[in-house]
Amino acid sequence: MHSKAQRFEHVELKVKDLSKALHFYKDALGLVEIGKEDGVTYLGCGYDKNYDLAVKEGGTGISHFAVRVDDEEELEYFYRKITNLGVKVTRHNGTEPGQVRAIRFPLPSGIMMEFVLVADNDYANPARPAYPRNIAAAPLNIDHINLVTKDVKKETDFFSEILNFKVSDVVDPEMNGNYMMSFMRFRGYHHDVASTITKNQDGTLHHLAWTMSNFEHIKVACDVITQFGVDVEFGPGRHPIGPNLYAYYMEPGGNRFEFVAEQVYLDPSSPTKKWRSMQDTLESWSRLRKPPGSFIQST
C-alpha cells in the first residue's frame, strides 16, 4: 500500500471569522473545498481526495488533529493500548469526509488526537493532483503540526512510550529532562508533530505547516499572501532543526501557518539530538537573527 511520506493527516481548527478565513484559504492558498457539514468546512490541497484542514467559527486553536496509520490492525492495537491506560478513547468511523475509521483520545495536554484510516490511499502523484491545482503558490500537501503545552516532557513521553513515535530532537537547556520543545516522527519524516512550552492556559497551537516544493515556491507564496494583506511574521530562512526552509505568518482566521520545504528523513534508529537553547534551533543563516515577540504566542 502506498501512503504519503508525512503521517500527519489533517487538523480541525477554530477561526475567528470563517468567511475571511475561507476567502484566504481558497483564493490565496489555493485550497479546495471538499465538503461542509454542521458548521465545519473541509478543505484540501488536492494532493489526494482526503481533507487536510477543517475549520469552524469560534475562537482559535485546535479542535482535533489526526495521524494516519497503516491498517485496521494497527488502529486496534492503539485502541487497546490507550484504553488500557484508563484514557477515554472514542471511535469516529466515517464521521468526516474521506474517513474510514478513526479513534480519538486526549493527549496529556488535553488536545484531542486521532489515529485514522482514510479512503484515498492510492499511489499519489503531486504533479497530477486529485483536485486541479489552479494557484501556482498552493501548498503540495499538509506537512506537520506544532502543539503547545505546559509540560513538554510529559507530552513527549506519551508520544514515544504510548503512541510509538520516535523523538528526533529536543530542546533541553539544563540537560535534565525539562524540555522546552520536542520534534517527533511517526515513521521517517523528521517531525509529524512537535510540542512547544507555553504559559498560555488556553493555548493549543503554535503553528500548522504546509509542504512546499522548494525555496522558490515559498518565495512566490509569500508574495501572494502579502497581496492579501497578510505579513510574513518570521523568515524566510532555514531552521537548524529539520533542517527545513521556513516562512511563518498569522492567517486571517487567527492561527499561525508555516510554509516548509526540504524537511529531512531519518532512519528509525537515528538517536535523539539534544539542543540547549531554542534560539539555536531557529536560524541557520544568522545567529543574530531573532523572531519577533509575537512568535512565542500560541492560539
Question: Per-10-residue mean pLDDT for the chain, 299 residues long?
Answer: 68 98 98 96 93 97 97 97 98 94 97 95 78 86 97 98 98 94 97 95 95 97 97 96 97 98 94 92 88 92
Q: Where along the chain do its domains lie?
A: 8-120+139-296
**148 with 203: CB under 8 angstroms?**
yes
Q: Phi and psi (nearest 5°) for 142?
A: -75, 150
Residue 191 CB partners (closer than 8 Å, separation 6+): 144, 168, 169, 183, 184, 185, 242, 263
Residue 249 CB partners (closer than 8 Å, separation 6+): 222, 225, 230, 231, 232, 233, 256, 257
What pLDDT is attached to residue 1?
Answer: 28
Give the CATH fold of the 8-120+139-296 domain: 2,3-Dihydroxybiphenyl 1,2-Dioxygenase; domain 1 (3.10.180)
The three cell numbers locating residue 270: 537515528
Residue 125 CB partners (closer than 8 Å, separation 6+): none
